[in-house]
Structures are given as structure tokens and as C-alpha cells.
Amino acid sequence: MAGVITPAQPVSIVVNGVSKAFGPVQALVDIHLTVRAGEFLSLIGPSGCGKTTLLKTIAGLVPADAGRIMVGDRNVTGPGRECSVVFQDFALLPWTTVQKNVEFGLLPRGVPAAERAELARRFIGKVGLGGFEEAYPAQLSGGMQQRVGLARALAVSPQVLLMDEPFASIDEQTRRLFQDDLLSLWSEERKTVVLVTHSMEEAIYLSDRVVVLSPRPGRMHQIIDIPLPRPREAGDVRATAQFAQLVDGLWKILKVLQ
């Protein structure tokens, strides 16, 4: 029914031979990658290796110079409704409330006002901000603002959630709590997630697989399977020897690339 948001099933992402340059700077070269439907995948690599550029090409925000990207059965030539993006800088509207910020993405979809309000309240509650609906961004901490961004991204029921360093500007304690909350939401919502991060611990804790990109120009260097059991947020996975070994192994890979 037009104007009504219904739960969306996750879809796969296929990146086939994608390259991208910005003037004389080659950002990505011949990237081949498949993200499985419902998978949580992280991108990591040295600064400037093209992680964010790859995320933006998947989102349709940056056109590829060569190659092709499929999100589900759609050939990506621009932004589509399949994907929601959570940015590092929150990207909230400072002049309006948490409630209206979360409703914002629903407006161009023609969702009726009553349903917009109900969906916004539901996802504000899911990210732990119930009771803050009428607060303004300036009244919230950085971690709370990022939760608003996540609620806004989820409210439109995307099939794919793309996250660009969403925890970079929040303190370590808040970051860990947010990681656990994100895993709980992912378990419940089962979106396909691609996360850009600089943190080895974060990539391993959250992901099914970690993709390592080489220094610029970004190329596929290695894909690491993460065999840690789920649900991870319910136990103390970070304290295990297996977690430490995985972090150490990823560090050795990244150290060679510096």
C-alpha cells in the first residue's frame, strides 16, 4: 500500500570490478565483493584506502568510474530506498526535535502523519531514547545524537544499513554500550550491514567477516571470517582468548600495510 512502511527483508550486495578516482587520485581499483543477505560486514584498512568511498558507491552517493554494484536486484546508479546511511557526524537537523528528526526520512515516502509519528516513537524507543522525543540535538550527548541517527535510518525499514565510522566521535564506554545495542538491534531487525571502522576490536566484535583494503589506491587485500559465537552482546566475548587472537591476527595484517 502506498505510503506505508512495511518490514523489509535483507538483500545481498554484489560489487563487481568497481574503480573510482577523484581527479588524479585513484581511490579504488577493481573491487570485487559480495555481502550476503543479513550479513554484518566491516571494512577496515589504512587511512585513505577508500573505505568510505566504497560505502558511498554502494549507497549510490558517489558514482563508480568502472564496474557495477547490485543491491538486491537493483543496479545502483544513484541513491535507492534499499539503503540507509548512518554518518559519523550524525547529520541531524539542529532546529527540530528528536521526534521530527526520526520522522524526516519518512516524509519523501509519503507516509501518513500518524504512521510517521508511531514509527518514529517505536524506533526512538528501540535505540534507548524513549522520553527524549521532544528534545533537541543540542540537548543530547554525542552518543545520544548518534542513536537518533540510527533510529532515523531504521525507521524507513531499509534492506541495507550502511554505517560510516558511527562511533568515532563518542567515548569508549559509550562506544561499547552502543556496539552491544547495535548487535541487539541487528539480531532483531536482520538488516544487511556494512560498517566502515578504524577499530580492529570493533570490526571483530561486530562482524561476520572483515574486509581489509590495501593502502591507496584501495584494493581487496584479504577477507577474514570471524567465527565468534552469537549472540556476542550477551556474554563477555571481548575477554576470550579467541577474541584476542583474532585482534592480534588482524593487527599483523594491517601492520604490514602501513
| Tens-place pLDDT, residues 6-54 | 567 889 999 999 999 999 999 999 999 999 999 999 999 998 999 999 9
Q: From 3.40.1390.10, 3.10.310.40, 3.40.190.80, 3.40.50.300, which CATH number describes the 9-82+160-167+181-258 domain?
A: 3.40.50.300
Instruction: Name the residue with cell 577474514.
Output: 224
> According to the model, what pLDDT value does residue 202 have?
95
94: left (phi over 0), alpha (psi -120 to 50) or beta: alpha
Separation CA 39–CA 207 (nearest Å)? 8
DSSP 25-54: EEEEEEEEEEE-TT-EEEEE-STTSSHHHH
pLDDT > 90: percent of the chain: 67
> According to the model, what pLDDT value does residue 234 have?
66
The pTM for the full model equals: 0.92
Average pLDDT value over all residues in the chain: 91
* Cβ neighbours for 207, distance < 8 A, ≥ 6 positions apart: 40, 41, 42, 195, 226
Which pLDDT tens digit goes with each residue over 180-201?
989 988 988 889 999 999 999 9
Q: Beta-carbon neighbour count of residue 187 at 10 Å?
A: 14
Is the Cα torsion angle 181, 62, 34, 244 positive or negative in sign? negative
Q: Where in the chain are the domains?
A: 9-82+160-167+181-258, 87-157
Q: Beta-carbon neighbour count of residue 138 at 10 Å?
A: 9
Question: What are phi and psi for residue 192, nearest 5 degrees?
Answer: -80, 125
Q: Which residue has the higher pLDDT, 3 or 123?
A: 123
Specify the pairing of strand 160-164 against strand 83-86. Answer: parallel
> According to the model, what pLDDT value does residue 108 have?
83
